[in-house]
Structure 1
Amino acid sequence: MNDRLNLFQAARFGSPFGSPFGSPFGSPFGSPFDLAHQAGEYWLDAWQRSVLFMDAMRQRGDDHEEKLTQAAPHVLNFEFDVVMDGRDLARPVNYSLLRIHTPEGVVVDANRRPFIVFDPRAGHGPGIGGMKHDSEIGVVLRAGHPCYFVGFLPQPVHGQTIEDVCQAEARFIAKVAELHPDADGKPALIGNCQAGWQIMMTSALNPDLTGPLVLAGTPLSYWAGVRGKNPLRYLGGLLGGTWLTAFTGDLGCGIFDGANLVSNFESMNPANTWWKKEYKVYSEIDTEAERYLEFEKWWGNPVLLNAQEMQYIADNLFVGNRLSSGSIHDSAGRRIDLRNVKSPVVVFCSWGDDVTPPQQALGWVLDMYQDDDAMALSGQTIIYALHETIGHLGIFVSATVANKEHEEFTGAMDLIDVLPPGLYEAVFVEKTKDTVNAGLVDGNYVVRFERRFLDDVRALGGNDQEDERRFAAVARLSDVNLGLYRTFASPLVKAAINEQGAEWLRQLHPYRLRYKLFSSKSPLLFGIAGAAERVRAQRAPAKPDNVFTMLQEAWSRQVVGVLDQYRDLRDSAVERYFMNVYGSPVLQALVGLRADDGRVRQLGRDIARETVAASARAKLVEQAGVGGTPEAIIRALLYVLRAPELRAADERGYAMLRELRTHSEEGKVMSLAHFKDVVQQQAQILSWNEEAGFVALPLLLPPSSAEREHALDVVRQVAGAAGELEGEAAERMARIAAMFSAAVKLAG
């Protein structure tokens, strides 16, 4: 009612008669003449918009048909060369490694760290990481780095598996490193959504191969989430496990249609899928059609997967959640343990992402490590960034995100690579005229990596032990149902379907039909292209304050509200069903979960890893007094930065710290790899025994008084790059200064 009153008031027209309603007739819409004029204006505009909208749908259908005729359809907005074709490998896959051409006006240094952007094969078409110039690829090129892209073909190679794809990716990464032998740093990898967990698996199996990893909207802990907000994780339980995945693969004659995955994504937001997306085009047809059609070229062309690949994903990740628990093994028997990843991992997620909420992006960290010391001593560096509002697709397609988060991550990649082990949160602060040492900041934001702890991840929310048992019950019931289906139903389904029937089922999928029914080939749109041209020549849009346009907008909001209510009721019902059914002690007992079981999802102890870690800790005491000036400066800096109020790495400090790489014993520039090793070693010495590491500092200092004074000056400048030190940080700096000065006097 309030909205209607506001609408009436906003629709008033001025009148010389001085009526409180703007009309001598007391109408909130103005005089009858005004109302009639607005009605005519609106209906002409609405008719024209309808014609133009249907023409946009025709173009969308034609784009879909055109993509079907292409052998390698994509939406990359960059020229490229094929470096490696995965179909030529010993275990062929439908992936390829592409070298992105440098756009005109952009300068790329072949000796800088190369980047590889991995495309997500999650049902939709390839090319999302480079769909426009303000994208991940565009950001990398503008920063002056060589850029490569790993994309895929719409048809899988017969027999290819997820393990084959991981092996192919390892070959691609090695090839890029081979093409840039003088690059200062291993290739940095950017994986979007599905591609993120795949490069994590590749890196876990090949830990010495990769540089830093950026995971954008990547789910790694599929059970994680909070009640009332993350309904997609209940889908496996609602369907009784992954038997339906197997059934769908059988109906496809060994092929799984990616349209099913995209349809699942769309079903999460019915208001957007059934109304908002197309209504926005209709209501803003003069400006929105081009953007919409560009997006639909990617979204509207789903690809295919081998049924075996999809079954692996559903069993091990979606329902089994076995990646974060370290219970997946490759064909050689090697466990895929994410703790093996040596490179820093950047997790970029958003509170506005209903596909990969922060809990699913970060929950694996809690599964890997029981406490903060275990994480620090493992040598692993994990950085996370939490966006407040952006949706799942926006994480890798939004120009705003590309020009902020992705740009800052790219510019700070060397700093990320040398961060001491531990957990950090990336914080972006806009650069202003008052920013300290603003000249050391490359972009428009100062990026800081602030130290965080496992409790900070726990504070994001997650499952309790009862919820964990529910998901574990789903995983076990899924295995039972899948076994029953494979034994009794699958042979019958396979006997009843052939290749032609499978192809007909794919073509009749509602997702594809909506494109086919609205194209130039459809009699429904006969003559619409010509009509649209005539409309464009005589376009007469209604004024924004037209009362009928405003009523249209109000009605649209009502439609969205109803659909949102339906979504909320549906999701609430699904959650209640899941909680009640899989929380049943009887069901849990029937699938083998004992009432006295403790944690049902916990990464088991790795005795070999613990033995190596114990040996490394034993050597730390011996290494405390080994090294030279670079080791002394880095240890002193890390000692200061371990102050509680200053547990952060700032890009300004790193810009100053670059000078330190010239402090090698031979007078040569220290490689980034060596610099990283020194930082890691000194950080672990302080983590194991901070006071012993501090006391041993004089043993690392040079005999020359001038060199010691210069070393102390470097520590002061870098530690104070972000501003004057205060509190415990200042006290620690004073202790360092006193030690260095005492050493100088002693040497003198």
Structure 2
Amino acid sequence: MPSTPEVNFFQEYWIDAWQRSILTLDVLRERGNAYVERSARTAPHVLSFAFEVVRDGRTLPRPVNYALVRIVPPQGTAIDSAKPPFVVVDPRAGHGPGIGGMKQESEVGVAVAAGHACYFIGFLSQPVPGQTIEDVCAAEAAFIEEVAGRHREAQGKPVIVANCQAGWQIMMMAAIRPDIVGPILLAGSPLSYWAGVRGRNPMRYLGGMLGGTWLTALAGDMGNGTFDGANLVANFESLNPANTYWEKPYQLYSKVDTEASRFLDFETWWGHPVLLNAGEMQWIADNLFVGNKLTSGEIRTSSGVRVDLRNIRSPIIVLCSWGDNITPPQQALGWITDLYGHEDEIVANGQTIVYTLHQTIGHLGIFVSGKIASREHAEFASCMEMIDLVPPGLYEAVIEEVNEGTERPDLVHGKYLMTLEARTLDNIRALGVNSDEDNQRFATVARVSEINQGLYRTIVQPAVQASASDRSAEMLREFHPNRLRFASFSDQNPLMGPVKGLAEQVRANRQPVSPDNPLLSLERAASAWISTCWEGYRQVRDAATEAIFLGTYGSPLLQSMVGLGTHHAPTERRVARDLIREADEAQLRIQLQQRFEVGGLPQAVLRALVYVRMVQRSVDERSFAMLQAIRDMQPLNDRMSLPELKACLKEQFLLLRLDEERAVRAIPRLLPESEAARRAGFEALLEMLGARGALPDEAARRLARVESLFGMNAQPAKVAHA
């Protein structure tokens, strides 16, 4: 009797479902075997590039488990020795190293492709006993000095790309040693830990919900002085239970024929947690996650030096995203308003800050996604010299695809155009800021944490430490759910014995279900329903968490009990004044007063360029490309180096801000007597101004005035205006 169509689609679906189940189990088996194999390694990583070890942090005077390696450029890749080297630093936030260079389209890959020598700072799974966060910062400083010493011919200091946790660590190092670093790119790095907006950023409430950081101390003591990074991974995964408990495994199951390789690549990195010293983790929890002391200048080194992020003079570039639920834009950018009350203070401090906001990408995608690497990271790598030349101030990097309407596309590197648009601190505040009442709540958490920590150390800690041992700590780690779920599917589990053979048979006789099978549609509908249920649970959980946090730590009684009653002024998060810095700024203004009429034709051209462009409040890579082309045409003995060009541009910008009219009137005194030289300088100015197309009316008016000052009235300027 012939089978009916209903029987056919029913049979077809269940054969496919059974086969997918076996193949999924086999992928989990491979993942488990990779976990077991990597656990036995001394230095597991996921770097896909060849490398050579340059410096082992364990040999430093203050030994740490970090290392500096040089990325060996792929065959056929040309490295420009004049370009500053790149140093990619991966986060030690629970996971192993290598994600910044896991594939060709990565932070390492785009840096090498742009012609930069590239280095990588990674770490071992086991910390050096007794190492501290300050020791790690000292090691990173030694690594950066090593890189700079290897590239003395480069026209710029090493560029540092710091991912997530590595961001605040590098910023601390740069604040202590600002003389050794070049531009710093922070990818998904939290610096302002209390920041966020209600209803969207529940992770910032975690410290309060746990009663402070005493549980961190407990975990470290139970680990016999070691903190398991699997706990951090578990925190990350809890933010999106729908993805953790259903969507990620279902994605593998539903597309197991094509998804296995990508799944295994990611899980190889995600599934091998590293360890931290208990003291390191406690310092992070107390001073950053709960204390939020970095941007307020409350952290000091063991020698008493205050870690003040305003010390950093190199450009700081921040890459963040609205889709990031671990480091939302407020936490990535809130440090700016913590440090400065007005954008003029940024300029006075000589600091250049550039940020860009992605609309959708998640936290890991900021430094893992191939699309982000080929767009944002590639643009920053190719435009880093331009960013290094930009005068001090706050800018937003706007990246747009080059199209038919783009002026002078020949001056654009690649298929994207980067424009730096001047911004104010109001643009940062518009992203969302805490009220004074909310800051008071977080300050209350910090006080409660100190009290609970003291009680734990006095009453509980001695007993816990006495009962802990290396063996008990190792057993706790082995049975941690985030480790056990990997190991339990490996070949060490005898129940997994038949899986490999069955999977081979399935692959030899694979019968995938047809896309229009009604049972497959039902499966997808059920999957969507399960995801919706998990998402509903998350929303209820997060709303309840926020309500409990706000109600508990907003209690006037609790605030009074910890010394933060209503009679106290709202908690101030601004960093304290620095009288030495203010004296230096005053001295700089005095020095600038003597510089209005100092210089020659290059200074006159650059001053005129800044004067005309100031009304547009933006700069893009076309103008920089033209500036570079004109500079390259100069004789070597007359050509400014990039550091000299940067210093000159900065000075002309500051002179115009100090007294614009006086600076403009002084231009003729900088010009040579030779009409030919003046004309050549003015034509170079026109070339740079014309790189972006037509000038707006006010810029054209300013250009006409400059034309007169250069004595070029006989021939009208050739730059069109809107």
Aligned to 2:619: 649
- Kept after mapping to 1: 8 A contact 2:340/2:574: no
* One-letter amino acid of the counterpart of residue 639, structure 1: Y
**Where do 5+ consecutive residues of structure 2 fail to align?**
716-722
In 1, the alpha carbon distance for the partners of 2:108 and 2:181 equals 18
**Farther-moved stretch of structure 1 (430-439 vs 378-387):** 430-439
* One-letter amino acid of the counterpart of residue 458, structure 1: R
In 1, the alpha carbon distance for the partners of 2:125 and 2:140 equals 18
Residue from 723, 740, 743 that aligns with 2:710: 740
Aligned to 2:719: none
Aligned to 2:76: 105
Residue from 414, 425, 429 that aligns with 1:454: 425
Aligned to 1:426: 397
Aligned to 1:201: 172
* One-letter amino acid of the counterpart of residue 682, structure 1: Q
Residue from 133, 151, 166 that aligns with 2:122: 151
Q: How does 1:312-331 map to 2 (within 5 A)?
A: 312-331=283-302
Secondary structure at 1:366's aligned position in 2? helix
Residue from 79, 91, 99 that aligns with 1:128: 99
Aligned to 1:25: none
Identity %: 54
In 1, the alpha carbon distance for the partners of 2:88 and 2:200 equals 30
In 2, the alpha carbon distance for the partners of 1:321 and 1:490 equals 25
**Farther-moved stretch of structure 1 (716-725 vs 321-330):** 716-725
Aligned to 2:56: 85
Secondary structure at 1:173's aligned position in 2? helix
* One-letter amino acid of the counterpart of residue 648, structure 2: V
Determine whether 1:610 maps to 2:610: no
* One-letter amino acid of the counterpart of residue 671, structure 1: S
Determine whether 1:598 maps to 2:570: yes
Aligned to 1:373: 344
- Kept after mapping to 2: 8 A contact 1:661/1:671: no
Secondary structure at 1:352's aligned position in 2? coil
Determine whether 1:683 maps to 2:653: yes
In 1, the alpha carbon distance for the partners of 2:637 and 2:659 equals 31
In 2, the alpha carbon distance for the partners of 1:325 and 1:59 equals 47
**Farther-moved stretch of structure 1 (736-745 vs 279-288):** 736-745
Aligned to 1:559: 530
Aligned to 1:15: none
Query: Number of paired residues?
Result: 713
- Kept after mapping to 2: 8 A contact 1:657/1:718: yes
Residue from 539, 543, 552 that aligns with 1:568: 539
In 2, the alpha carbon distance for the partners of 1:141 and 1:338 equals 29
In 2, the alpha carbon distance for the partners of 1:686 and 1:584 equals 51
- Kept after mapping to 1: 8 A contact 2:557/2:565: no
Q: How does 1:349-428 map to 2 (within 5 A)?
A: 349-428=320-399
Secondary structure at 2:505's aligned position in 1? helix
Secondary structure at 1:386's aligned position in 2? strand
**Farther-moved stretch of structure 1 (299-308 vs 693-702):** 693-702
- Kept after mapping to 2: 8 A contact 1:709/1:744: no
- Kept after mapping to 2: 8 A contact 1:215/1:347: yes
CA spacing shift, 1:407–1:481, aligned 2, 3 Å: same
In 1, the alpha carbon distance for the partners of 2:658 and 2:563 equals 42
- Kept after mapping to 2: 8 A contact 1:698/1:743: no
Quote how far apart the aligned CAs of 1:524 are.
2.4
Quote how far apart the aligned CAs of 1:683 are.
1.3
- Kept after mapping to 2: 8 A contact 1:219/1:360: yes
Residue from 636, 647, 669 that aligns with 1:699: 669
* One-letter amino acid of the counterpart of residue 522, structure 2: L
Determine whether 1:730 maps to 2:700: yes
Quote how far apart the aligned CAs of 1:433 are.
3.3
Secondary structure at 1:623's aligned position in 2? coil
* One-letter amino acid of the counterpart of residue 431, structure 1: V
- Kept after mapping to 2: 8 A contact 1:448/1:649: yes
Quote how far apart the aligned CAs of 1:428 are.
0.8
Aligned to 1:281: 252
CA spacing shift, 1:151–1:357, aligned 2, 3 Å: same
In 2, the alpha carbon distance for the partners of 1:459 and 1:32 equals 65
Quote how far apart the aligned CAs of 1:379 are.
0.4
Secondary structure at 1:240's aligned position in 2? coil
Q: How does 1:452-531 map to 2 (within 5 A)?
A: 452-531=423-502
Residue from 406, 411, 415 that aligns with 1:444: 415
CA-to-aligned-CA distance 1:323-360 (integer Å, 9 cap, x gap): 11111000111111111111000000000000011000
In 2, the alpha carbon distance for the partners of 1:172 and 1:717 equals 41
Quote how far apart the aligned CAs of 1:740 are.
1.6
- Kept after mapping to 2: 8 A contact 1:372/1:454: yes
Secondary structure at 1:482's aligned position in 2? helix
Quote how far apart the aligned CAs of 1:105 are.
2.4
**Where do 5+ consecutive residues of structure 1 fail to align?**
1-30
* One-letter amino acid of the counterpart of residue 166, structure 2: A
CA spacing shift, 1:586–1:538, aligned 2, 3 Å: same
Secondary structure at 1:544's aligned position in 2? coil
In 2, the alpha carbon distance for the partners of 1:743 and 1:163 equals 61
* One-letter amino acid of the counterpart of residue 323, structure 2: G
Aligned to 1:332: 303
**Farther-moved stretch of structure 1 (84-93 vs 469-478):** 469-478
- Kept after mapping to 2: 8 A contact 1:469/1:600: no
Quote how far apart the aligned CAs of 1:664 are.
8.2
CA spacing shift, 1:661–1:377, aligned 2, 3 Å: farther
**Farther-moved stretch of structure 1 (710-719 vs 397-406):** 710-719
* One-letter amino acid of the counterpart of residue 697, structure 1: I
CA spacing shift, 1:554–1:662, aligned 2, 3 Å: closer
- Kept after mapping to 2: 8 A contact 1:448/1:648: yes
- Kept after mapping to 2: 8 A contact 1:123/1:261: yes
* One-letter amino acid of the counterpart of residue 538, structure 1: N
In 2, the alpha carbon distance for the partners of 1:100 and 1:651 equals 27
In 2, the alpha carbon distance for the partners of 1:669 and 1:334 equals 40
Aligned to 2:608: 636
CA spacing shift, 1:32–1:663, aligned 2, 3 Å: closer
In 2, the alpha carbon distance for the partners of 1:439 and 1:347 equals 28
- Kept after mapping to 2: 8 A contact 1:349/1:386: yes
CA-to-aligned-CA distance 1:275-309 (integer Å, 9 cap, x gap): 10010000000000111011111000000000010
Secondary structure at 1:256's aligned position in 2? strand
Aligned to 2:314: 343
- Kept after mapping to 2: 8 A contact 1:629/1:663: no
Quote how far apart the aligned CAs of 1:741 are.
2.1
CA spacing shift, 1:164–1:440, aligned 2, 3 Å: same
- Kept after mapping to 2: 8 A contact 1:661/1:675: no
In 2, the alpha carbon distance for the partners of 1:211 and 1:701 equals 33
Secondary structure at 1:393's aligned position in 2? helix
Aligned to 1:710: 680
CA-to-aligned-CA distance 1:536-560 (integer Å, 9 cap, x gap): 0000000111100000000000000
In 1, the alpha carbon distance for the partners of 2:250 and 2:673 equals 75
Residue from 624, 627, 630 that aligns with 2:599: 627
Q: How does 1:211-290 map to 2 (within 5 A)?
A: 211-290=182-261
In 1, the alpha carbon distance for the partners of 2:154 and 2:177 equals 19
**Farther-moved stretch of structure 1 (704-713 vs 546-555):** 704-713
Aligned to 1:4: none
CA spacing shift, 1:209–1:264, aligned 2, 3 Å: same
Q: How does 1:524-543 map to 2 (within 5 A)?
A: 524-543=495-514
* One-letter amino acid of the counterpart of residue 213, structure 1: I
- Kept after mapping to 1: 8 A contact 2:443/2:571: no
- Kept after mapping to 2: 8 A contact 1:517/1:524: no
In 1, the alpha carbon distance for the partners of 2:696 and 2:673 equals 31
Aligned to 1:69: 40
**Farther-moved stretch of structure 1 (171-180 vs 429-438):** 429-438
- Kept after mapping to 1: 8 A contact 2:707/2:713: no
In 1, the alpha carbon distance for the partners of 2:111 and 2:243 equals 32
- Kept after mapping to 2: 8 A contact 1:137/1:147: yes
